[in-house]
Amino acid sequence: MQNPSAQAPRVAFITGGAQGLGLGISRHLLGLGWKVAMFDIDETAGHEAIDTLDAKERDRTLFFQGDVAVEADIKLAIQQCFDRFGRIDGLINNAGIADPHVPNIEDLEWDQWQRVINVNLGGVFLATKHATQHLRDTKGAIINIASTRAFQSEANTEPYAASKGGIVALTHALAVSLSGAIRVNAIAPGWIEVGDWQKKANKTNPDHSVADKAQHPVGRVGTPNDIAQAVSFLLDGDKSGFMTGETIRIDGGMTHKMIYVD
């Protein structure tokens, strides 16, 4: 294909787009005039997410149910997104098993290790593989959602930490392989509150203690909008055209704070 017009609305494909950060990113890009394809394993969350949109936004939104770790699911959804919208300009690899905690290493089962790696890291590979030709055609961008847990850890979080460290490495490897065609960057969020961005059955009212806030140099916990703003910056080649292969930490300064226990 063909030189899509720069004037046509741009199209983002967002994995894990129905809740949490992914929904925040979806809504932010819709607000900027993008067309959005949300891909998520949770069908109820997908339908509820669509219901929260106004009619004009809904006309620019698709929802696909599927598992990022199942190649046939992601391949079909990306093809159907292209068939409906005619282009893909941005891939946001956000889907993940967000709870990092697992049993200690001696009790951790191979299946559990594999599932986290397959979803959190394998899903980035699969979506990228199947979106790359479309992104080449638009000189688009890929944004991978890693985590500050790529750089620091709590106990008993090995598969999650390894998957996120893998995303940081995959990001610079892809940036080099796709150089001149597609920019590939990552965001490593710290603590982002997503309790109020879940489907109805799981929604919570966030309540952060003074200590929760104080451990962040900026004085608060993060919001999906903090991440969504960085996503739109990284998608915009006029603003971030000299960036590729990079991972940006967005964590309210938490990983820069040195802690001594008295």
Ligand X SMILES: NC(=O)c1ccc[n+]([C@@H]2O[C@H](COP(=O)([O-])OP(=O)(O)OC[C@H]3O[C@@H](n4cnc5c(N)ncnc54)[C@H](O)[C@@H]3O)[C@@H](O)[C@H]2O)c1
Q: Which lies closer to ligand X via its Cβ, residue 4 or residue 122?
A: 122
Is residue 121 part of the contact set for ligand X (CB under 6 A)? no
- 160 given a catalytic annotation: yes
Is residue 22 part of the contact set for ligand X (CB under 6 A)? yes
Decide: 184 and 174 in contact? Cβ < 8 Å.
yes
Is residue 42 part of the contact set for ligand X (CB under 6 A)? yes
Contact with ligand X (CB under 6 A): which of 78, 127, 192, 230? 192
Contact with ligand X (CB under 6 A): which of 30, 37, 62, 68? 68
Span near ligand X by CB under 6 A; candidates 3-11, 12-20, 76-84, 130-138: 12-20
Q: Three-class SS of residue 77?
A: helix
The two tokens of residue 201 are 């059955």
Contact with ligand X (CB under 6 A): which of 50, 53, 98, 108? 98
CB-based contacts of 150: which residues, under 8 Å, 6+ apart? 161, 164, 165, 167, 168, 188, 247
Residue 143: how many CA atoms within 13 Å on its side-chain side?
30
Contact with ligand X (CB under 6 A): which of 11, 12, 14, 20? 20
Q: Is 219 left (phi over 0), alpha (psi -120 to 50) or beta?
A: left
Q: Which of residues 134-163 bind ligand X (CB under 6 A)?
A: 145, 147
Q: Which lies closer to ligand X via its Cβ, residue 135 or residue 231?
A: 231
Decide: 147 and 189 in contact? Cβ < 8 Å.
yes
Decide: 40 and 95 in contact? Cβ < 8 Å.
yes
Decide: 53 and 78 in contact? Cβ < 8 Å.
no
- What residues pair up with 50 in beta bridges, in sequence order? none
Span near ligand X by CB under 6 A; candidates 1-9, 90-98, 170-178, 238-246: 90-98
CB of residue 180 to ligand X, shortest distance in Å = 28
Q: Quote the CA–CA distance of 3 and 138 in Å, as a whole number.
A: 7
CB of residue 262 to ligand X, shortest distance in Å = 28
Is residue 170 part of the contact set for ligand X (CB under 6 A)? no
Active site residues: 160
* Interacting residues with ligand X (CB under 6 A): 15-16, 18-22, 40-42, 45, 67-69, 94-98, 119, 145, 147, 189, 191-192, 194, 198
